[in-house]
Amino acid sequence: MSCPHLRWRVACIAFSAAICLARLGSSAALADSPPEPEGYRLSDYKAPVPATLQGARVLTTAEAFELWKKHGATFVDVLPQAPRPANLPPQVIWRDKPRQDIPESIWLPDTGYGELHPSMRTYFADGLRRASRGDKSVALVFYCLADCWQSWNAAKRALSLGYTNVMWYPDGSTGWEADGHPVEMRIAEPRPGSE
């Protein structure tokens, strides 16, 4: 057997081994992911999330970035926002914590909880109607932070509202920033009772 032929066989074996290891890594990640619940996640929102969302496309950071670059979807941030403390005296100025997220997103805070007050369900539906211009086939990408069930819940809720091109970006702004993609300051859409 000549040297070039031996090198070719070694390269093929190494390539096959790399593919097997990659598949094993993917299988291990899927095996470590919790299963999708029947309904919405109702507690412990900052925890490992499923690898899937039935009816939606799950995006990696690279896929989300490509969509964003091409203006191929509307990005919907659902990270919660702390409300003004109820016991804070009226004369005290309250400043919301600034949020840096994916540029050109719409921020609908507090819409990823498992159960929503009717006013918040309306707020979510109205926000999506504005974001999609009333077209339920528009591509919508839901996100918050990594390991945050709120974006999973929100994407599932959008599916229940009849949106047909729903995508879930589980790494959210955490993964986005870790890859060095741009962020911008975001102001939340006014919540019910905040006007």
| CATH number of residue 83's parent domain | 3.40.250.10
Query: Where in the sequence is the domain holding 19, given as residue range(s)?
Result: 1-32
- Looking at residue 194, its pLDDT comes to 60
Rounded to 5 degrees, what are φ and ψ at 162? Answer: 95, 10
- Looking at residue 192, its pLDDT comes to 81
Question: Maximum distance among all alpha carbons in the chain?
Answer: 87
Q: Tokens for 121? A: 């369900």
Residues 102 and 172 in one domain: yes
Residues 53 and 121 in one domain: yes
Q: Which residue has the higher pLDDT, 66 or 17?
A: 66
Please report, as a single letter, which amino acid is at residue 195. Answer: E
Q: How far is Cα 111 from Cα 189, in angstroms, rounded to an integer? A: 11
Residues 21 and 53 in one domain: no
- Looking at residue 18, its pLDDT comes to 42
- Looking at residue 7, its pLDDT comes to 52
- Looking at residue 151, its pLDDT comes to 98
Q: Which residue has the higher pLDDT, 150 or 87?
A: 150
Q: Which residue has the higher pLDDT, 34 or 26?
A: 34
- Split into its structural domains, the chain has a count of 2
- The secondary structure of 168-192, three-state, reads ECCCHHHHHHHCCCCCEEECCCCCC
Mean pLDDT throughout 50-78? 98
Category of 146 on φ-ψ map: left (φ > 0), alpha (ψ -120 to 50) or beta: beta
- Looking at residue 123, its pLDDT comes to 97
* Whether pLDDT at 61 is above 80: yes
Residues 14 and 71 in one domain: no
Q: Tokens for 153? A: 């819940």
- Looking at residue 113, its pLDDT comes to 97
Mean pLDDT throughout 84-110? 86
Sign of the torsion angle spanned by Cα atoms 47, 51, 54, 55: positive
Mean pLDDT throughout 146-169? 98
Mean pLDDT of all residues belonging to the chain: 86
Q: How far is Cα 137 from Cα 106, in angstroms, rounded to an integer? A: 17
- Looking at residue 32, its pLDDT comes to 82
In the numeric block, the tokens 């619940």 are attached to 37
- Looking at residue 45, its pLDDT comes to 96
- Looking at residue 124, its pLDDT comes to 98
β-bridge mates for residue 101, sequence order: 184
**pLDDT-derived band of residue 90, with 50, 70 and 90 as boundaries?**
confident
- Looking at residue 22, its pLDDT comes to 43
> Is 44 inside a domain boundary?
no
* Whether pLDDT at 26 is above 90: no
**pLDDT-derived band of residue 31, with 50, 70 and 90 as boundaries?**
low
Residues 28 and 63 in one domain: no
In the numeric block, the tokens 């070039």 are attached to 4
Residues 25 and 55 in one domain: no
Mean pLDDT throughout 14-36? 53
Mean pLDDT throughout 15-28? 41
